[in-house]
């Protein structure tokens, strides 16, 4: 029978449509939907040797070479076609009084080119490469907090054209905005409400419950857990959380980055192994730059959202999702990858 499940953080509801239950092989996207964008290494601006086709780098980890030349392992550049402009100041465009609110498009939009190898992905990275990619995330996130115009930085991965990737070369993006996005604010308020009532972090409570119950657990390490959330919106949805309370991604240590790299690459290898390398989005949710008052209640986390179903009229009309694969089944499929055993530490 179908079941309605409530997300403890946002109070939104999900329909777990067990009568539509699907195995991973049932989703098998066609190759184009699975997302190889049509650029090749010889015409890819992100490949080594093509550095002059991009804006000047703002950060690079190198084995050799000068700035904006080959020899890099990870390279961060401004987006050539940014959603927001670093040149703008935050100014209101709203006449008073008015029903409508507008302001200048101030912000930052960067591309983190995570590997010099055109055909790499998180399922292919070695541990060292994965660690460098996450170091770049952390370094750019920390650096941009010094810009007083910015309230929040969203780091995300679009893997596959069906998930929004316009380039096949492995990369993530960072968009920093002058306001806290509504989705993040919803999480902040939900966690704060729980903290006021229970004097404890909801995410810490969820982490302990998932470890104890095990049925949705995907992988476990000393500092992190990966699990399919109880009210999963998508088949094979996976969250990764620090096991100990940590509100701000800026607080992550190098040893934690190395451990996060290990569990993230294993989880994404398992997703590729289980569901045929599906398109997915990965989004990092963390404490806003102007997040005073939420330090005890919020908890940064990474959400991996496979694009195995399509949002249609019901989802757009209600904000509710229909998920045909219960998270307990999804985690069981994911654990079949021989690299993963949630009953053993990484």
Q: Catalytic residue positions?
A: 171
Neighbours of 98 (CB within 10 A): 9
Strand bridging mode 13-16 / 321-323: parallel
Tokens (6 digits) for 279 = 């398109």
For residue 66, give every residue at least 6 positions away whose Cβ sits within 8 Å of its Cβ, in sequence order, or none.
Answer: none
Q: How many residues are recorded in the chain?
A: 346
Q: How far apart are CA 237 and CA 23, in angstroms?
A: 14
- Angle, helix 254-275 to helix 127-144, in steps of 10 degrees: 120
**Degrees, nearest 5: CA angle 156-227-288:** 40
Residue owning tokens 């998930």: 163
For residue 99, give every residue at least 6 positions away whose Cβ sits within 8 Å of its Cβ, in sequence order, or none.
Answer: none
End-to-end CA distance of the chain: give it in Å, rounded. 36
Residue 217, by phi and psi: left (phi above 0), alpha (psi -120 to 50) or beta? beta
DSSP string, 78-98: E-SS-SSBTT----B---SS-
Strand bridging mode 108-113 / 72-78: antiparallel
Q: For the chain, what is the total number of helices (H) and then of strands (E)?
A: 8, 13
Strand bridging mode 108-113 / 171-177: antiparallel
Q: How far apart are CA 105 and CA 291, in angstroms?
A: 22
CB 306 within 8 A of CB 34: no
Strands in 321-323's sheet, in edge-to-edge order, are 3-6, 13-16, 321-323
């Amino acid at each position: 029978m179908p079941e309605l499940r409530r997300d403890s953080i946002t109070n939104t509801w999900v329909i777990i449509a067990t009568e539509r239950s699907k195995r991973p092989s049932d989703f098998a996207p066609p190759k184009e939907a699975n997302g190889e964008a049509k650029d090749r290494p010889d015409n890819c601006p992100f490949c080594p040797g093509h550095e002059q086709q991009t804006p000047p780098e703002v950060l690079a980890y190198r084995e050799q070479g000068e700035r904006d030349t080959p020899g890099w392992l990870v390279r961060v550049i401004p987006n050539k076609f940014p959603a927001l402009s670093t040149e703008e100041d935050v100014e209101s465009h709203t006449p008073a009084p008015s029903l409508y609110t507008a302001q200048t498009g101030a912000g930052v939009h960067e591309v983190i080119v995570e590997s010099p190898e055109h055909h790499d992905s998180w399922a292919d990275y070695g541990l060292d490469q994965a660690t460098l990619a996450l170091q770049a995330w952390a370094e750019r996130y920390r650096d941009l907090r010094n810009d007083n115009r910015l309230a929040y930085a969203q780091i995300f991965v679009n893997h596959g054209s069906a998930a929004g990737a316009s380039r096949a070369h492995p990369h993530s993006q960072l968009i920093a905005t002058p306001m806290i996005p509504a989705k993040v604010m919803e999480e902040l308020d939900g966690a704060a409400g729980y903290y006021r009532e229970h004097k404890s972090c909801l995410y810490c409570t969820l982490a302990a419950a998932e470890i104890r119950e095990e049925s949705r657990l995907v992988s476990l390490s000393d500092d992190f857990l990966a699990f399919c959330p109880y009210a999963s919106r998508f088949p094979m949805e996976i969250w990764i959380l620090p096991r100990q309370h940590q509100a701000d991604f800026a607080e992550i240590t190098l040893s934690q980055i190395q451990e996060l790299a290990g569990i993230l690459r294993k989880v994404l290898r398992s997703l590729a192994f289980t569901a045929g390398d599906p398109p997915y989005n990965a989004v990092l949710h963390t404490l806003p730059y102007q997040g005073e008052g939420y330090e005890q209640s919020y908890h940064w986390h990474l959400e991996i959202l496979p694009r195995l179903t399509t949002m249609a009229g019901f989802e757009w009309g209600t904000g509710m999702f229909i998920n045909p694969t219960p998270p307990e089944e999804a985690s069981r499929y994911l654990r079949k990858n021989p690299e993963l055993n949630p009953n053993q530490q990484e």
